[in-house]
């Protein structure tokens, strides 16, 4: 039995998800938001991601909406047999366990593709095949390996990004590969294996800095030490220690900024006429701008910057985003019933399709909530009912 009618593009696609933490669940969430019926297989007792403390406390709620939950012990022979039977009723399989685990259970691609050649099987790993492929990886591991912590922190103080950027990006690329494989299967009738990996994601994020080196022969400096490209592309401290990022990426922008803050002396200085000239005198220029803006009120300055068409941004914390006017009024932050019956706010996929924002269609599943419903559809269960 396929999913109820949604009017969404992946309606009729059935996904079996063996994942935990962030990377694999993100892939499943994207497919579920786009209309696929996603069945999340959890171990006895439920996915341990549900009960993570600290910074991981929000993982499960953030990346597991619109899914069904089935409890299945895939470490047991009976659970493995049920899993293989379920795969036969699905279009896509997702997994993000350590290398070799699914194969050990007889659930790897090489095994199940012989039984179910139509399957698209997406594995989310630390590394694509190569010298590193059997290493265990975390987002922070690959951020260090692929230059991201180096570029983010000050010199000598590498700093990871403040979110699980590679895990989320890995799920996104897994979903992209699956969508392409579904299209190819429409032509050939055959499934295939998809692999998405953290390290390769991160090298793509670092590719602009790699190319910078290849073009100049000079190693890139960390971003906090950057020479940069634009003369004004900085965070400024205003009255009351409020902070505001402001950019002036063209001569027109620079003139507009000078008008807004009342520094026409800088706008009319012939030695600051072009970005190259301003860049050469950046320490002097930034010192002058900082001195002027130190007494300005952020609330008064922001609308003037907007009216002048200048890029700017206050420094916002995640807790402040739950009340963000644009997120709420644009429909990007919506209520979702949780697995314990409470209500939280869910951040939707950042896209519109035909003017429609794919949203929350079902409560976050309780552990094993849909086990009976899903397993009752298996041919082996039907046969057992007949014999009974």
The string of DSSP codes covering 321-383 is HTT-HHHHHTT-EEEEE-TTS-EEEEEPPS--BTTB-----SPPPPTTTTHHHHHTTSHHHHH
Residues 130, 49, single domain; the answer is: yes
pLDDT for position 385: 47
Q: What is the pLDDT of residue 39?
A: 98
Distance CA 38, CA 43 (A): 16
| Residue 256 CB neighbours (<10 A) | 19
Can you tell me the distance from the alpha carbon of 336 to that of 344, in angstroms, rounded to the nearest whole number? 5
Question: d(Cα 111, Cα 82) in Å, to the nearest integer?
Answer: 14
User: Token match 């009319």: residue?
Assistant: 268
The sheet that has 232-237: what strands, in order across it? Answer: 232-237, 243-248, 312-314
- pLDDT per 10-residue tile (average), the chain, 388 residues: 73 98 98 98 97 96 98 98 98 96 98 97 97 94 97 95 96 98 98 98 96 96 81 96 96 98 98 95 96 97 98 97 97 97 97 94 97 94 50
The alpha carbon of residue 163 and the mean position of all alpha carbons in its chain are separated, in whole angstroms, by: 9
CB of 207 closer than 8 Å to CB of 275 = no
Alpha carbon separation from 133 to 124, 137, 323 (Å, rounded): 12, 10, 42
Domain limits at 127? Answer: 14-205+324-387
Q: How far apart are CA 365 and CA 65, in angstroms?
A: 8
Residue at 8 is within a domain? no
Asked whether residue 2 is domain-assigned, the answer is no
Domain finish residue from 264, 293, 317: 317
Q: Which residue's structure tokens are 């009017």?
A: 7
CB 222, CB 153: distance < 8 Å: yes
Structural domain includes residue 220: no
The DSSP bridge partners found for residue 346 are 334
Domain boundary residue, one of 269, 298, 317: 317
Cα-Cα-Cα-Cα dihedral sign, residues 46, 47, 53, 55: negative
Query: For helices 379-387 and 77-88, what crossing angle results, to 10°?
Result: 110
Asked if residue 239 and residue 163 are part of one domain, the reply reads no
Last residue of a domain, one of 261, 285, 317: 317
Contact between residue 195 and residue 123 where contact means Cβ atoms under 8 Å apart: yes
Confirm whether 43 is domain-assigned: yes
Q: Count the domains in the chain.
A: 2
Taking CA atoms, 288 is separated from 221, 232, 294, in Å, by 25, 12, 10
Does residue 238 lie within any of the structural domains? Answer: yes
Query: Which two structure tokens, joined as six digits, stand for 117?
Result: 């050649």
297 shares its domain with 359: no
Specify the pLDDT at position 1.
42
| Residue 197: predicted pLDDT | 98
- In terms of domains, do 159 and 104 share one? yes
If asked whether residues 302 and 346 sit together in one domain, one would say no
One domain, residues 188 and 48: yes
- In a domain, residue 81? The reply is yes
Interstrand relation of 37-42 and 67-71 (parallel, antiparallel or unpaired): parallel
In a domain, residue 188? The reply is yes
The answer to the question of residue 244 being in a domain is yes
CB proximity list for 216: less than 8 A, separation 6 or greater:
none
- Whether the CB-CB separation of 12 and 3 falls below 8 Å is answered with yes
Q: Are residues 188 and 43 in the same domain?
A: yes
- Are residues 303 and 254 part of one domain? yes
82 shares its domain with 197: yes
The answer to whether residues 56 and 184 belong to one domain is: yes
């Amino acid at each position: 039995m396929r999913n109820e009618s949604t009017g969404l593009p992946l309606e009729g696609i059935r996904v079996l998800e063996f994942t935990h933490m962030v990377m694999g669940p993100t892939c499943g969430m994207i497919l579920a938001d786009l209309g696929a019926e996603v069945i999340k297989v959890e171990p006895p007792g439920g996915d341990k991601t549900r009960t993570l403390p600290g910074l991981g406390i929000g993982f499960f709620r953030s990346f597991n909406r619109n899914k069904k939950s089935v409890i299945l012990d895939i470490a047991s022979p009976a659970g493995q047999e049920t899993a293989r039977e379920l795969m036969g009723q699905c279009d896509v399989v997702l997994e993000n366990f350590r290398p070799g685990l699914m194969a050990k259970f007889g659930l790897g691609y090489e095994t199940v593709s012989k039984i179910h050649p139509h399957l698209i099987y997406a594995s989310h790993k630390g590394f694509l095949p190569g010298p590193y492929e059997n290493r265990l990886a975390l987002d922070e591991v690959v951020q260090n390996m692929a230059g991201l912590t180096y570029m983010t922190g000050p010199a000598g103080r590498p700093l990871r990004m403040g979110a699980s950027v590679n895990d989320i990006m890995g799920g996104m690329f897994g979903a992209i590969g699956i969508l392409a494989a579904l299209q190819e299967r429409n032509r050939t009738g055959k499934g295939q294996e998809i692999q998405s990996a953290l390290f390769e994601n991160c090298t793509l994020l670092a590719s602009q800095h790699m190319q910078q080196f290849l073009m100049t022969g000079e190693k890139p400096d960390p971003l906090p030490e950057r020479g940069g490209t634009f003369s004004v592309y900085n965070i400024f401290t205003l009255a009351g220690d409020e902070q505001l990022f402001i950019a002036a990426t063209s001569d027109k922008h620079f003139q507009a900024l000078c008008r807004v803050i009342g520094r026409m002396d800088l706008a009319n200085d012939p030695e600051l006429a072009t970005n190259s000239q301003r860049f050469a005198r950046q320490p002097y220029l930034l010192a002058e701008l900082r001195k002027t803006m130190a007494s300005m009120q952020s609330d008064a300055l922001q609308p003037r910057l907007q009216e002048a068409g200048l890029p700017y941004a206050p420094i916002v914390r995640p807790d402040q985003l739950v009340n963000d006017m644009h997120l709420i009024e644009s429909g990007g932050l919506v209520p979702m019933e949780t697995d314990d019956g409470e209500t939280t706010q869910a951040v939707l996929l950042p896209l519109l399709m035909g003017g429609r924002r794919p949203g929350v269609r079902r409560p976050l599943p309780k552990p094993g909530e849909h086990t009976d419903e899903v397993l009752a559809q298996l041919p082996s269960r039907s046969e057992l009912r007949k014999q009974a």
